[in-house]
A and B are shown apart, each in its own frame.
Chain A
Amino acid sequence: MTRDVADNTPAMGEQDGLFAALIATAVDGIIVIDRQGLIQIYNHACERLFGYPPEEVLGRNVKMLMPEPYHSEHDGYLSHYKQTGEKRIIGVGREVVGRRKDRSTFPMYLSVGEGSLGDRHFFVGIIRDLTEIKQEAVRREGVNRLLAQIVQTSDDAIVSTTLDGEITSWNASAERIFGHGAEEALGANVAILFLPDRLADEERLMQQVRAGREVSNLETVRLHKSGREVLVSLSVAPIRDGAGNVIGASKIARDITEKKLAEVRTLTLQDELAHVGRLSAMGQMSAAIAHELNQPLTAVTNYVRAAQRLLANRPLEQRQIDNASQAMARAAEQTIRAGTIIRYLRDFVEKRESERAAEDINEVIQEALALGLLGLRHNNVTVTTNLDADLPPLLLDRVQMQQVFLNLIRNAMEAMAGSAGELSISSARDGDHVEIVLRDTGPGFSPEVRGRLFQAFVTTKENGMGIGLKICQSTVESHGGVIQALEGPGAAFRIRLPLAQP
């Protein structure tokens, strides 16, 4: 301090030195101005804050330390106060902006007091630099915004609750996974997500949280708003207040329903294959037949029940009679379909030798082809045949062998449905055998599927009469022949049949 109020106030006596030391060592900036706004005292802390040495400041108007608009308005404040006595900042503190010598500005907290020595009035300003606090607040706000963004865009449901279970935050994925909107969920109890018979488990979980422990990746079940169950992997952590007391829980739930379903699906498929492996060939055939029979039986039941219902109307209208009659006709068609399936089953089981006769295999193929292409609506498939016209007749059951080709042709058509494709069929003599090859341009089989084509009914549903490659195989083998699936492209089968013994 180059000059201080004590110079002009001899009454202060020896306390002057004490006050001077106080002001000089204060961490906060201290400025004293007179009623004209001229700086009288300017301590060391101010030198650091504003960058001016005392000699550049003392005796000058304090507004030099203020940026606009305070700079221009400050004289006005002072004269307003002198005229009206109305205080704006005096006696209270507020956050304002200071200007350094290099004209940069900084946020500061300013408290102003008023005093007098004799007839001299002055104002004391105490200044605290807010720069670091402000920076910290901005940084924290940025971190919070980033965290909020992460929470909001996370694929996992992120939910926080009080210790009583009241939901205090609820992100977008929580809405997606559990069905409740944020407006419903916030303030509600988290028990809306619990299965009633699992409440004890939830209580144990919260005990862990109250004890300050975390729970990670617990697989459990939650309730969707619709009542559907959602499988989740759950992690729970305690939320603490500034003093370290646990005041709530944060919960992160990952929807693992689809993952679990995929696991179960794989297991089911393995089970099914193992099961099929244990079944006898006859067992497999009867399973396939039962499945095929269920379709026409279902249709018959539906048609007959519908007709019954229509005929129960009183008064009975002609339209209803007509509809009932139509339903009965369709039911009859379906019983015939069921009968056909049973007849084919019997044919294959009995393997009647009696119906075998010397047949032209090319004719059998052509007939099967005609049947196979019948009734195909969106047929973009080109069929090319390359049949050896000089083949000797084979001893075979015409109907059974037709069924084999029909089955293979139908499968090919289904595989190529909806897109352009080609089915090629060839026949040729190979020593004492005839070899027939069918090949389509559909997706074909993976090596793994090709390996078990004839072991299991891995089929999707066949239209109408096809009852599986297993039956094709047993028919071909009962004729002393062999059927094989060939490598791609497309699905390809080779059938070798022996020539009739001379």
Chain B
Amino acid sequence: MSWFAGIVDDDDAVRDSLRFLLESNDIPAQAFDSAASFLAADTSDMGCLVLDLHMPGMTGLELLILLRSRGMERPVIVVSGRRDPAQDSLVRAAGATHILSKPFEDERLLGLVREALAQAA
């Protein structure tokens, strides 16, 4: 069974570069440009999710709450360009496993994703 890392980010460049970074490190990745396209996809083999918060339509936080309420228990790593303590606590309460500030060190993200995929396997 090969688990993939999911990416949801509406910014074309951020989304593409994230997928590129993961795949260069031999981590299978699937990228989605919105919460809606993510929800429409088959993500049963997804080992973890890298999620942007600020998106038009359904936001990252709303997607996170929806997934957790549906019983999705895989790690979710939230990446945010704008951090503040109130938002962080909200995101944690919604079930985020980690929160990273954009831009982030690649090793930090890769470490978290590898750990999550190893857990899933």
Contact call A298/B90, Cβ cutoff below 8 A: no
Task: Tell me if B112 is interfacial: C-beta within 8 Å of chain A.
Answer: no
Contact call A303/B17, Cβ cutoff below 8 A: yes
Contact call A226/B73, Cβ cutoff below 8 A: yes
Whole-angstrom CA separation of A234 from B66 in the bound complex:
23
Number of A-B contacts (CB under 8 A): 117
Contact call A301/B104, Cβ cutoff below 8 A: yes
Contact call B104/A298, Cβ cutoff below 8 A: yes
Task: Tell me if A333 is interfacial: C-beta within 8 Å of chain B.
Answer: yes
Task: Tell me if A497 is interfacial: C-beta within 8 Å of chain B.
Answer: no
Contact call B56/A461, Cβ cutoff below 8 A: yes
| CB neighbors of A among B4-37 (8 A) | 10-11, 13-14, 16-18, 20-21, 23-25
Contact call B13/A333, Cβ cutoff below 8 A: yes
Residues of chain B within 8 A (CB-CB) of A301 are 17, 103-106
Instruction: Select A261's contact among B11, B86, B90, beta carbons within 8 Å.
Output: B90
Instruction: Select B90's contact among A179, A268, A310, beta carbons within 8 Å.
Output: A268
Main secondary structure of the interface of A (DSSP, over half): helix
Closest Cβ neighbor of A271 among chain B residues: B86
Interface segment out of the listed A49-57, A289-297, A476-484:
A289-297
Instruction: Select A306's contact among B21, B82, B89, B104, beta carbons within 8 Å.
Output: B21
Q: Which of B17, B69, B103 has the most CB of A within 10 A?
A: B17
Answer whether A460 and B56 are a contact pair too, CB < 8 Å, given A261-B65, A301-B104, A306-B24: yes
Q: How far is the CB of A129 from chain B (nearest CB, A)?
A: 54
Whole-angstrom CA separation of A303 from B21 in the bound complex:
6
Task: Tell me if A260 is interfacial: C-beta within 8 Å of chain B.
Answer: yes
Residues of chain B within 8 A (CB-CB) of A271 are 86
Task: Give 16 pairs: A residue, B residue, CB < 8 Å, sorted on A.
Answer: A179-B71, A257-B93, A264-B89, A264-B90, A265-B90, A272-B84, A295-B14, A301-B106, A302-B17, A302-B106, A306-B21, A306-B23, A327-B17, A330-B13, A334-B13, A334-B17
Binding site for A on B (CB under 8 A): 10-11, 13-14, 16-18, 20-21, 23-25, 54-57, 59, 61, 65, 68-69, 71, 73, 79, 81-82, 84, 86-87, 89-90, 93-95, 102-106
